[in-house]
A and B are shown apart, each in its own frame.
Chain A
Amino acid sequence: MEKFDVIVVGGGLAGLAAAYTLAQEDLEVLVLERGDYSGAKNVTGGRLYLNPVRDLFPDLWKKAPLERFIAHEEVAMMAEKRSVTIRYSGEELRQEPYQSYSVLRAKFDRWLAKQAERKGAMLVAKSRVDEVIIENGQVVGVRAGGDELHADVVIACDGALSLVAEQAGLRQPGNPHDFAVGFKEIIELDPAVIEDRFGLEGNEGAARLYMGEVTRGKFGGGFLYTNKESLSLGIVVGIKDLMDGSPQVQAPQLLDDLKQRPEVASLIRGGQTVEYSAHVIPEGGLKALTKLYGNGILVAGDAAGFSMNIGVTVRGMEYALASGYYAAQAVLKAREAGQYTANQLSVYELLLKDSFVMKDFQNFKDAPTALDNPRFFTVYPEMVTTMMSELYAVDDGPKERIYPTIKKHLTIREMWDMLGDFRKVRKL
């Protein structure tokens, strides 16, 4: 039987961040990854915000295989027959260090795995963890493919469903209300065409969110990110809303419909779809986080629920990297103390509370309720686009004056409802 200092289950961002940090301190770390390579089972929309995690891994970023830095932020409000798109281009987005990048996980995670291995972490791919070994209430290792592997601490970084944390009794299977499902196509296009269509200079990139009709009023939206030689085009939609019907729609249809919208079709024209992927996303916020530690075990990344939708941004990868890092720090402290009890490992939660991770989750704890409002996905896109349509219309008769046009749509009743909706959003 083999014994390690730490076993990390799952070689994604959280697991690799933990392994990288621990190996740097000369601990014996084993990472078990069920895919052919790190990233083989991972999906992102994808954008990585670097600022919050840049300093946690100072040597890492120079050679990282990032796609394009996002210099243009766009939101498209989609009604059934019309849309309004807002494009924000700020000087600060074009200045180094860049705030965020589009990424492709199969490339990025494979590279990160190599960096962790260079630091001395042992990575075994194509290996699924079948079981957590618990002795006298203490997690002491895992079983994988008939092998029994022991460690002082197991870090569960096995993704949004975390069967490891579930087996260790730190979470329940999960409530569909707290999760969304994302699915996307990678569409290959010539870089020059991408730059032309999105008005990009060199390695600039654009990120576009689509809200409204694209999810038929269900909680969620569409997204489009420019990569170096491809686009990531997809949909994120709340699982509970999909289940409830009204209107009833099969998930894959939403993406096909988005692709056929004239606003989108012109952007992807001539492109070749080369991959279709999907994954669930924890979106339950603070109240849906799992228990973060137990005797001999820590939970990080999506496994713990560290992913957040606050409407204009959906974030997860930097929380994964940071929680992996802090899990490693907690292990180092436990090692100093010479014990790996839940009590000792609870320092992980304290470290997170001191960091941007828990501060964000605290600040945006009302986001899931505030945004879970069908009016954002139906009434507002319809209202804004209809108003635009009438403002720009020149019919055969005399044109209506502008103020009454606006007022027609903003009745007292409507303004009162809006006030209510935005009062909730004010908490964000």
Chain B
Amino acid sequence: MSEILGLKAKLGLDVFKHDSEPHIRIKAGMEKDPRLKKAVLVCPAGLYSLNDAGEVEFTIDGCLECGTCRLACGTEVLDWNYPTGGAGVQFRFG
């Protein structure tokens, strides 16, 4: 069987090009917003997590730019854009 890789290892297979700043940000003060908590469930790259303080934390590294969090959480809690040209994930198979 093609082994079960951890998500980090799986994302490590992809090509990511560096961007000068993160293209998705949690808006200030929205870390505990219930809408944001949906992201923990929907993100295929598992980039959102809930910490002990009940806040959602997010890391941009490994973002597949799929758009699911923008739809699930909305633009009131997320500052959402695509990475600048030539940055971000570059699929070799797609």
Contacts and interface: CB of A to CB of B under 8 A. Distances in A.
Indicate whether A and B are direct neighbours in the complex (CB within 8 Å). yes
Interface of A: 34-37, 39-44, 104-107, 109, 125-128, 144-145, 159-161, 163, 173-176, 179, 181, 183, 185-187, 230, 239, 242-243, 245, 248-252, 256, 259-260, 265-266, 268-280
A173 B90 CA distance: 24
Interface in B65-87: 65-68, 70-72, 74-75, 81-86
A383 B84 CA distance: 50
Contacts of A41: 65, 88-91
A383 to B, nearest CB: 28
Given A183-B64, A280-B71, 15 more contacts: A34-B86, A35-B90, A44-B94, A126-B86, A161-B71, A173-B71, A176-B71, A179-B71, A239-B42, A239-B71, A252-B44, A259-B2, A268-B1, A271-B2, A277-B89
Contact of B83 (A128, A179, A276): A128
28 contacts: A34-B83, A34-B86, A35-B86, A41-B89, A105-B91, A126-B86, A127-B85, A145-B85, A159-B67, A173-B70, A174-B71, A183-B64, A183-B66, A239-B68, A245-B41, A250-B46, A251-B43, A251-B68, A259-B1, A260-B1, A266-B1, A269-B2, A270-B1, A271-B2, A274-B13, A277-B89, A278-B45, A278-B68
Given A39-B94, A242-B42, A276 B71 contact: no
A39 B92 CA distance: 8
A39 B91 contact: yes
Interface of B: 1-5, 7, 10-11, 13-14, 17, 38, 40-46, 64-68, 70-72, 74-75, 81-86, 88-94
Contact of A105 (B5, B10, B88, B94): B94
Nearest to B7: A252
Nearest to B70: A161
A274 B90 CA distance: 13
A48 to B, nearest CB: 13
Contacts of B64: 183, 276-279
A124 to B, nearest CB: 9
B45 A252 contact: yes
**3 nearest CB pairs, A to B:** A126-B86, A105-B94, A278-B44
A126 B85 contact: yes
B86 to A, nearest CB: 3
A173 B75 contact: yes
Contact of B1 (A179, A252, A269, A278): A269
Contacts of A269: 1-2
B94 A109 contact: yes
A275 B2 contact: no
Most chain B CB neighbours (cut-off 10 Å) among A35, A272, A273: A35
B2 A187 contact: yes
A275 B4 contact: no
A275 B84 contact: no
Contacts of A271: 1-2
Given A243-B42, A280-B71, A128 B85 contact: yes
A51 B84 CA distance: 37
A268 B5 CA distance: 14
A107 B91 CA distance: 10
A266 B2 CA distance: 9
A106 B14 CA distance: 13
A185 to B, nearest CB: 7
A265 to B, nearest CB: 4
Nearest to A242: B42
Contacts of A42: 91, 94
B39 to A, nearest CB: 9
Nearest to A103: B94
Contacts of A185: 2, 10
Contact of B44 (A104, A179, A181): A181
A427 B45 CA distance: 37
A335 B5 CA distance: 53
